[in-house]
Structure 1
Amino acid sequence: MNFPQFAFNNVKRNASAYMAYLFSSAFMVMIFFSYSVFIYHPQLKETLMGAMARSGMSIATYIVYVFSFFFVLYSIGVFIKSRNREFGILTILGAEAKQINGLIFLENMMIGTLSIVIGIVFGLLLSKLFLLICSKVMDIDELPFYWPGKAMLLTILCFGVLFFTISLFTLLFINKRKVLELLKGSSKPKQEPRTSARLALFGTVLLAIGFVSLHVGTLNPVSLIVAAFTGIAGTYFFYSQLSVWMIKRLQRSRQLTWKGINLLWMSEMSYKIKDNTRILFLVTVMTSLACMSVGFVLASKQTTEAAYKNNPFAISYTMNDSNHLNDELKEIDEQLKEAGLTFKQATIETIYNKISASEKSYLQLVSLQQYNQFALEMDAAPVTKLSDGEAMLVQSPEAEKKNADIQGTTIGIQRVNSVQTIALKQRTDAIANLTWAGRVLILPDQDYEAIKEEKSNNNNAVLPSIHYKTINEKGIPGQNDPETKVGETLTTWNKSLMDQGKTSNYLTARSETYFSKKNAMALFSFIGLFIALIFSFSSASFLYFKLHTELVVDGIMYRSLSKMGLSSKEMNTSATRQIALLFFIPIIVAAIQSLVVLGPVLNYIAIPYVRGPVFLATTAFLALQIIYFLIIRARYIQAVNHNMV
């Protein structure tokens, strides 16, 4: 048997151990290859979003490749550590350091080559489906299958270099170790986990600083950086100090600790959390990033859909220029009729005026009479009579969620030489979308006319607008529905007139706004979801690799306990609880971190929906984690059961 055959047999004999690493690496190769297939598609440059889609996918490819490097490096390091005893025996039998290094190098390259082959094969089999999904999500013409020669060459080259580099780098893990140290492997006795009350308190303070920097004061880049650093550092101290400290405090309760098998699994848990601090920290960070990514995508999608559903006006037209007004209104009417849409229309006049709540806050004012007439024509609820010195603030549901600059029972209206204080009432109604900000302040007629008189010298302050409401709406339209088509046509026509300087009147269409936002988010959503899936899969792999390295020691421990009378059922229960805590503690921590971070960040960029998307994202990752847990638990219990007497 020659040396390459010896290396091959080693891999073959350790197939069960290397299987998860092999498939995890192949999964990374497959994702990288799939992205490359999309990037090099010959028809992509002919599509409207081609350049942007290619750039976005290229960034995703870089992220996958960099992440793959660290993933493979960690995985190889874990498996080499689990084989220390084997390398020690080879050394005693006369193997030289360079021969052991050669063995490790050959084994890693064999697994790497097989990973590349499996990844590319599965990537080819799923490439048509991947291209179809990309086309649908990004709303571009369907991309047909082609033979991805460039993508295959790039994948082979990149991952060939990756596995070759890491195979050389991992030799540093073994060549300086002494024979006795290798023979002990991972069976060296563990010291009792120690914690420091000061470090636990320090970690708590770091987490508190991160929370305060996000939720107190105005959010800015500095506060985000502070929150990121303190949150990540605090998470590490949570696992290394605070969680172990909490378990040791629980162990002091005899009523809890001495009940059933609690003594066994709680004692082991303090060791496992301390030993797995880095892996739990890494899994939590990855899961948090994945949850935030999915939560952001879902929140953006929900906000975009809600903005469409809560806007009753298919077309809104603000009139700043009366020179060609009749011709433009005629064009709008003709386009709506040609599309076969039946609609109501109404005109209203507003005044753009500063309020004293904030130096940067402005509102559009409307008279009570005009508002009630407009509401009557648009089937909305009118406002009851306002007394002198009163005003009604009407906000759309989105504006009401994200605007917090108007609070209290009074509001100040900026006049020419003074500020007029008015008693404030508030109401939420979708009709407020008659303004771009979704807020309108209704004033008694006499107050409105007085302000309008003051604004007579400022032509831009008074803004007449006409709004079109379609009849018999059927929810969000499709890309090819009449409302979508006419909205796109009219906005393109209006933009062309404005670019040519032929008008200053401004037209918006809710369907065009909806699909432009949806298409802009589609690419980032697609990339974010795939990156999140990679993080989820990799976090489960990390936990599996760590449990596998501890399997020898755990097997010896459970064998000794079985001799003392521990039943298989009790052993299974104890092991299940320990594995469950390792799998699900990071999910809980990640969910809390996602909610804490995403809330202020999304509010800062005017996305009011937070809890629902974070809950859905966390639930999805929890479901995936449960599947991983059940699979890995079954393999772990099966392996440990072999050691029972």
Structure 2
Amino acid sequence: MNFREFATKNVYRNIKGYFAYFLSSSISATLLFSFTMIIFHPDFVVLKLPNSITNTLYVTTVIAYLFLCFFVFYSVSVFLKSRYKEFGILYIIGSSKKQIQKMINIENIIISSVSGVVGIIVGIVFSKILLAASGKLLGLNALGFYIPVKAMIITLIAFILIGIVISIFCSLVIKEDMVLKLLKGTKKPKLEPKSSAIFSIICIVLLTIGYYLSITSTEKTLPYRIIPVTIMVVIATYLLFSQLSVFVLKVLKRNRDFYMKKTTVLWVSNLLYRIKDNTRMFFLITITSTVALSSIGSVYAYWRDKETQINKSFPQSFFCVDTYNNKTKVDYKIDFIENSLKKEEISYTTVNGEMKFIIPNGVKDEVTIIKEDTYNKLARALSLNTIDLKENEAMLVSYLDKNKRKNIILDETKLQIARGSDSCVIPALYDSSYVVKDDVYEKMKGPRCYFGAFNVNNYKDTLSIGNNFYNNFGNDKGDKYYNNFLKAYILEKNKIAYGVLLFSAIFIGLIFFVTTASFLYNKCYMDLIEDKKKYKQLNKIGLTYKEIKKVLNIEIGVLFLLPYIIAVVHFFFAISSLKCAFGIEITVPALQVIGIMLIVQIIYFLIIRKNYLFEIRKSLL
């Protein structure tokens, strides 16, 4: 048997240790292949997506691949630790450093290449279902089957490169002068974990502040809070596992009535060491799970609520606006829309009017001013209540800043905000609009704009008109006051854009969950070797299998579910900021995402628990 055969057979001999690495790599290869198969699909390529959306797809692929590389490095480094004795013995019997490195290279390239091939095969087998589902998600008809040659090449090359890079990485980890350490493996005596009450309090304070800032965010404050809140929660998460959890377990140990009760002494002591030893892994899994849940949940909430948001943001089916100097151009567009609606035999109502833009005293941003008569015309067309203002009274129309009721000074005129409304009568781009008496409006100086607005019963029927409009006027340009809002056209573009983003988020989320699940499997596999010896000795002195099972249920349950539970809490507060800032309905999407992920995690936990207990029981016989 030559060295290459020895390396190949070594993979079979360590099949349990390599199984998680191989399985997760194969699933990751399937996801990578499926994703590239869709973005290179002929029907998808011809879509005229904005550059930002197209770039999002490519960036998503790169992020996923980089995370896959990181995951593989981590998994291999963990697995190598379980093989310390094996490498130590090989060095003692005369194997050179070059031979060990060659063996590791062959093993990793075999695993990576086979994973890539298996991923491609599985992706092709389920491609018809995947293409149909992704087509619906992206707001398209079912994507037809095709031979994804480019996706195959990308996936295979990507995983072969992973195998090569891992081989270089492994050669730096295993060194000949570590023979004694390799032989001793992980048998070094462990000191009792230490914790700090101060750091535990800091953890609680950081989480409290981070959560509070999340649920009190507004549209204006959210962009400024994202980074500091993220930093606080990340730091607090690490302290939670490294300090607070250890501190809580030590407090439990001091309660002798609780601690000395039956098997409690065993699982509390074991958890004390396990949580401390696995701090980095728990932290990594929690953060990646939070990112996965937040990305999927937030984009899904937008995707699910997109029609409601469109209806709020764009009350009219068509709305064209430009400066008053370009009134002729606006009238020409209004005639085009009107003729198109008549041709399609779609009934409509129309309102023409004007508005001004003024910078209030002491404020940097412009606000929109509408006269009372124009507002009432728009309100009647939208079946809203009309208003009757008194002199120097104004009404604030804003569905984002609906709680803002401060008096305002416009062009040296002090206005009292008599009432407010969160029902927009013009597009949300002009949020925080002020309605004033007609004579007050005429006195105010500011850029004057002319608009034309159309309302129809079912705006979705006007998509073809919107497409024709942009074919004719899409190249027109103007200043910051120039705009065209075509509701059906905007909804269609949003469907595709949010569909692409949701598809990308689901892809990234699946990669995260597959890899983190593999982290846990690798950790369980490493712990199993030591647990077999430990529980065999405890069984000899009287600990029954039923009691061992109870202890392991708690330990494995904490190992699998604690990071996920913390991630769910992080996710709940993160997604709540969307409701606070933008009024997006998040309850149903959040519960759906949490429920699906919880079911998957519990199923995975039950499978690993069953195999783990089987191996422990077998070792007791």
TM-score by length of 1: 0.83
1:293, distance to aligned residue in structure 2 (A): 1.3
Residue 414 in structure 1 maps to residue 410 in structure 2: yes
User: 2:454: which partner in 1?
Assistant: 468
Deviation digits for residues 265-298 of structure 1 (CA, Å, limit 9, x no counterpart): 2221111100101111111121122122113312
Aligned partners of 2:421, 2:41: CA distance in 1, in Å?
Answer: 52
Identity %: 29
User: 1:299: which partner in 2?
Assistant: 301
Give the alignment of 1:141-160 within 5 angstroms. Answer: 144-160=144-160
1:343, distance to aligned residue in structure 2 (A): 2.8
Query: Counterpart amino acid of 1:583?
Result: F
Question: Contact 1:213/1:224 (CA < 8 Å) preserved in 2?
Answer: no
Residue 452 in structure 1 maps to residue 441 in structure 2: yes
Aligned partners of 1:609, 1:245: CA distance in 2, in Å?
Answer: 38
Query: Counterpart amino acid of 2:454?
Result: Y
User: 2:430: which partner in 1?
Assistant: 437
Aligned partners of 2:378, 2:36: CA distance in 1, in Å?
Answer: 54
Q: Give the 3 Å change call, closer, same or farther, for CA 438–488 of structure 1 in structure 2.
A: farther
Residue 639 in structure 1 maps to residue 618 in structure 2: no
User: 2:466: which partner in 1?
Assistant: 487
Query: Counterpart amino acid of 2:167?
Result: S
Query: Counterpart amino acid of 1:450?
Result: D
Q: Give the 3 Å change call, closer, same or farther, for CA 364–453 of structure 1 in structure 2.
A: closer
Aligned partners of 2:419, 2:50: CA distance in 1, in Å?
Answer: 50
Residue 547 in structure 1 maps to residue 524 in structure 2: yes
Query: Counterpart amino acid of 2:438?
Result: E
Q: Which residue of the other structure, out of 627, 631, 645, is the alignment partner of 2:603?
A: 627
Question: Contact 1:75/1:542 (CA < 8 Å) preserved in 2?
Answer: yes
Q: Give the 3 Å change call, closer, same or farther, for CA 335–292 of structure 1 in structure 2.
A: same
1:244, distance to aligned residue in structure 2 (A): 1.0
User: 1:174: which partner in 2?
Assistant: 174
User: 1:279: which partner in 2?
Assistant: 281
User: 2:114: which partner in 1?
Assistant: 114
User: 2:28: which partner in 1?
Assistant: 28
Q: Give the 3 Å change call, closer, same or farther, for CA 388–565 of structure 1 in structure 2.
A: farther
- Secondary structure in 1 aligned to 2:266? helix
Question: Contact 2:115/2:159 (CA < 8 Å) preserved in 1?
Answer: no
1:542, distance to aligned residue in structure 2 (A): 0.5
Question: Contact 1:351/1:366 (CA < 8 Å) preserved in 2?
Answer: no
Query: Counterpart amino acid of 1:490?
Result: F
Aligned partners of 2:266, 2:17: CA distance in 1, in Å?
Answer: 27
Aligned partners of 1:178, 1:198: CA distance in 2, in Å?
Answer: 38
Q: Give the 3 Å change call, closer, same or farther, for CA 639–349 of structure 1 in structure 2.
A: same
Aligned partners of 1:228, 1:114: CA distance in 2, in Å?
Answer: 38
Aligned partners of 1:286, 1:584: CA distance in 2, in Å?
Answer: 14
1:73, distance to aligned residue in structure 2 (A): 1.6
Question: Contact 1:49/1:140 (CA < 8 Å) preserved in 2?
Answer: no
Q: Give the 3 Å change call, closer, same or farther, for CA 336–597 of structure 1 in structure 2.
A: same
Gaps (5+ residues) in structure 2? none
Query: Counterpart amino acid of 2:463?
Result: T
Residue 375 in structure 1 maps to residue 375 in structure 2: no
User: 2:240: which partner in 1?
Assistant: 238
- Secondary structure in 1 aligned to 2:407? strand
User: 2:85: which partner in 1?
Assistant: 85
Aligned partners of 1:40, 1:438: CA distance in 2, in Å?
Answer: 39
Aligned partners of 1:20, 1:75: CA distance in 2, in Å?
Answer: 9
Question: Contact 1:391/1:425 (CA < 8 Å) preserved in 2?
Answer: yes
Aligned partners of 1:413, 1:488: CA distance in 2, in Å?
Answer: 42
Aligned partners of 1:434, 1:573: CA distance in 2, in Å?
Answer: 61
User: 2:544: which partner in 1?
Assistant: 567
Gaps (5+ residues) in structure 1? none
Query: Counterpart amino acid of 2:532?
Result: G
1:440, distance to aligned residue in structure 2 (A): 4.4
Deviation digits for residues 196-238 of structure 1 (CA, Å, limit 9, x no counterpart): 3344455556657766887799759886555444443332222
Q: Give the 3 Å change call, closer, same or farther, for CA 350–60 of structure 1 in structure 2.
A: closer
Q: Which residue of the other structure, out of 557, 576, 579, is the alignment partner of 2:534?
A: 557
- Secondary structure in 1 aligned to 2:421? strand
Aligned partners of 2:381, 2:2: CA distance in 1, in Å?
Answer: 90
Residue 17 in structure 1 maps to residue 10 in structure 2: no
Aligned partners of 1:289, 1:582: CA distance in 2, in Å?
Answer: 19
Q: Which residue of the other structure, out of 589, 600, 615, is the alignment partner of 2:566?
A: 589
Query: Counterpart amino acid of 1:407?
Result: K
Cα RMSD, aligned residues only? 3.7
Question: Contact 1:491/1:508 (CA < 8 Å) preserved in 2?
Answer: no
